[in-house]
Structure 1
């Protein structure tokens, strides 16, 4: 009898595991210290908890460009991506649609406090990290240096955020770029124990819009972010994207959980505090998934 009971328990347990894995939601994020990862990890936990028959997992990646590629190739169901990575020549990437505009990524140009670099032109001839290969940072910075006529004017380093912080601290580089939601934890920690400045890049937003896409805007980095003097910089909307072939009901539920549990996401990182209905639907020129659009219509006042 005991053996029969054990066999029954194993069968039930096995069935339960199979059911839980009937549908997977792999969320492509970024490095483990990035905003994408922190919000994505919390989002995955919410999906696991509240969508029966769904197994959510978080993928550590190089960020936006890599995430877009993973979703396009069916190796992730959901990905965080800067909208400039998703738009080329004014047209959105084929086969990808959005669940929401989550927050804006701000482009940080970080230098040591005693650096002579006061503007973008001051980087000429210097050792500069332009972001990890496959990141949205690399795309934005490549375009920025191009419109400034500086594509070949810096000694480029392809470093992720953690590597950039270590290299600036040790003096191996003179500056680094990073695009992320406020505040970027690694930059905040660097500023707390080492003197840094964030360089104003706002003058270049217009040229980026003219040359590439109107997704580029100017946003302030307030004193509250890093306890530094406020500066203005280039910002780009950050979207949560999925394949256009995702089932409508799943897209509806993923959007619903994103919005209904935004307080829980904000507890994981303050950037998610900017999640709100009116901004979330502003994903153009990337269209909303029909399931996401159905959710927003259902809660429209």
Structure 2
């Protein structure tokens, strides 16, 4: 029987209150409103991770991106595999076989630089014997590649005066005369090395002859790339290189993987202001991520823009 003050077709007040109680209980059980999706980007200092995070935060709704700095770039794969980062940057020669790690894009080629003063007699890897040499920060991609090169050349740690410096530290030490040579792996041009070349004359030692040894001993990812005179106002040379990939967890939602890949390609001009190596990025080169398989969301993006 209806309350006298209620229309005949009104929902009873008791039923309304019961329904609100059910909705409140459901919200409490679900933890309340759903917040933005977290996107942690594993990226070493100076890499493009911070720029990518900024793009994501400005252009992707309901996504909150931040940068996670690994102990060294060699730790990127581990961070993703352990679920401590969703995406990250890594050289291909640091990859192992892990089904939980896929790729969104091949971003640029990492060239191994062996930098010496222009008037220094070091012209080959063997000339490093007895010299003061920085092989890059401990555990970094530079240290891995340089270590493999030196081992292939038969230079053990005792054959030269070894240090493990950051790029900033190494360029400053070379300028002061406290260092004879340093290694650094990065896309052309490396901003800090270009700045160094503007202050003092340098040379990039030719390492191209070691590509075959590294391919046969370690990995077939190594290729030869040229360093033109215009890059550092230094004599032209060639060196070994491998690709840097934007990796992703296989569990990253397809839609988010699609959007991040799209953003990287569509806004590469913004990223290239700070990272000129991205000027060469295009859809065809970006999709070539082997030995890491493409994430399905990234593969869908490349199919959607295939010429």
Q: TM-score range by the shorter chain?
A: 0.7 to 0.9
If the length of structure 1 is used for normalisation, what is the TM-score?
0.87
1:43 has 2:48 as partner? no
Corresponding residue for residue 5 of structure 2: none
Aligned equivalent of 1:263, options 265, 269, 294: 269
If the length of structure 2 is used for normalisation, what is the TM-score?
0.85
Aligned equivalent of 1:119, options 110, 124, 133: 124
Q: Is the 8 Å Cα contact of residues 63 and 80 (structure 1) preserved in structure 2?
A: no
Corresponding residue for residue 142 of structure 2: 137
- List aligned pairs for 1:22-101, cutoff 5 A: 22-31=36-45, 34=46, 36=47, 39-61=48-70, 63-87=72-96, 92-101=97-106
Shift, 1:195, TM fit: 2.1
SS in 2 for 1:287: coil
Distance, in Å, in 2 between the alignment partners of 1:74 and 1:43 is 19
Q: Is the 8 Å Cα contact of residues 171 and 196 (structure 2) preserved in structure 1?
A: yes
- List aligned pairs for 1:153-164, cutoff 5 A: 153-164=159-170
Q: Provide structure 1 residue ranges, at least 5 long, that are not aligned to the other structure.
A: 1-17
Q: Provide structure 2 residue ranges, at least 5 long, that are not aligned to the other structure.
A: 1-31
* Alignment root-mean-square deviation, CA: 1.7
Shift, 1:94, TM fit: 4.3
1:217 has 2:223 as partner? yes
Structure 1 consecutive aligned stretches of length 4 or more whose deviation exceeds 6 Å: none
Query: Larger C-alpha radius of gyration, 1 or 2?
Result: 2
Aligned equivalent of 2:193, options 164, 184, 187: 187
SS in 2 for 1:166: helix
Distance, in Å, in 2 between the alignment partners of 1:97 and 1:120 is 35
1:246 has 2:252 as partner? yes
Q: Is the 8 Å Cα contact of residues 108 and 187 (structure 2) preserved in structure 1?
A: yes
